[in-house]
Amino acid sequence: MIELYHCVDARSFRALWALEEMGLPYRLHVLPFPPRVHQPDYLQLNPLGTIPLLVDGDVRMTESAAIPQYLASRYGPTPLAVGADEPDYALWLDWMARSDATLTFPLTIVLRYTRLEPEERRLQQAADDYTQWFLSRLRHLTRALGDREWLCAGRFTMADLCVGYALLFARTLNLEHKFSPEVAAYWERLSARPAFLAAKAAQAGGEGAQ
């Protein structure tokens, strides 16, 4: 059975949501955040100390935007992937990577310097600068959506899931009031999906087979 090491609403939520979208059985291990601090024995499983860690037989993966692509490829075919023979294949790959490198990264800096660092090490200017970085990238998402329901191929795909996590993270940081009407409506569609709700319920339920 696939095993996923996860922290509530952290980057590993992408993997959890993807497992639910695919309907795959899995065992969930919910760890305190950050696990390298609060559960140091986790370093024996993942020396990086980061989450997610997905274990599928001999396969071990730690990149949150790569895991949904792996699951779609390994356990497909599925409409959640965009095939190399489809016109939007390159766009799909671009959004899969952009979801983390461009949209999620600046939010991690905001989180660190407003909530995780000790009070004397918090840097409001850094948080403000990286918030603006995120919002400038979010404008590209608004343009890309236009009047589309989903980002590519005319259907919900793993790219939407990966971008959707960045929006969940932004909401955690109380930035949802900065969403454009297009992005806000997109978020409502994403967060209403049964698999999203199932992933939320699974993490609330803690460890165990799903």
DSSP 137-150: HHHHHHHHHTT-SS
Q: Are 46 and 22 in contact (CB under 8 A)?
A: no
Mean pLDDT of the chain: 97
Q: How confident is the model at residue 164 (pLDDT cuts 50, 70, 90)?
A: very high
Res 43: pLDDT: 94
Above 90 in pLDDT, residue 68?
Answer: yes
CA distance 183 to 138: 8
Above 90 in pLDDT, residue 61?
Answer: yes
Q: Could you tell me the end-to-end alpha-carbon distance of the chain, in angstroms, rounded to an integer?
A: 10
Q: Locate 182 and state its tokens.
A: 């297009």
Q: Write the pLDDT tens digit of every residue in 103-118.
A: 999 999 999 999 999 9
CATH class of the structural domain 89-193: mainly alpha
Residue of higher predicted confidence among 39 and 159: 159
CATH for 2-80+195-209? 3.40.30.10
Averaged pLDDT, 1-11: 98
Q: Write the pLDDT tens digit of every residue in 17-55.
A: 999 999 999 999 999 998 878 788 999 999 999 999 999
- Pairing of the two strands 53-56 and 26-30: unpaired
Q: How confident is the model at residue 209 (pLDDT cuts 50, 70, 90)?
A: low
Res 48: pLDDT: 93
Res 35: pLDDT: 87
Above 90 in pLDDT, residue 206?
Answer: no
Where are the chain's structural domains?
A: 2-80+195-209, 89-193
Averaged pLDDT, 194-207: 94
Res 208: pLDDT: 66
Q: What is the percentage of the chain residues whose pLDDT exceeds 70?
A: 99
Averaged pLDDT, 92-107: 98
Q: Are 8 and 200 in contact (CB under 8 A)?
A: no
Q: Write the pLDDT tens digit of every residue in 112-153.
A: 999 999 999 999 999 999 999 999 999 999 999 999 999 999
Res 210: pLDDT: 74
3-state secondary structure of 11: coil
144: exposed, middle or buried (Cβ count in 10 Å: 0-12, 13-18, 19+)? middle
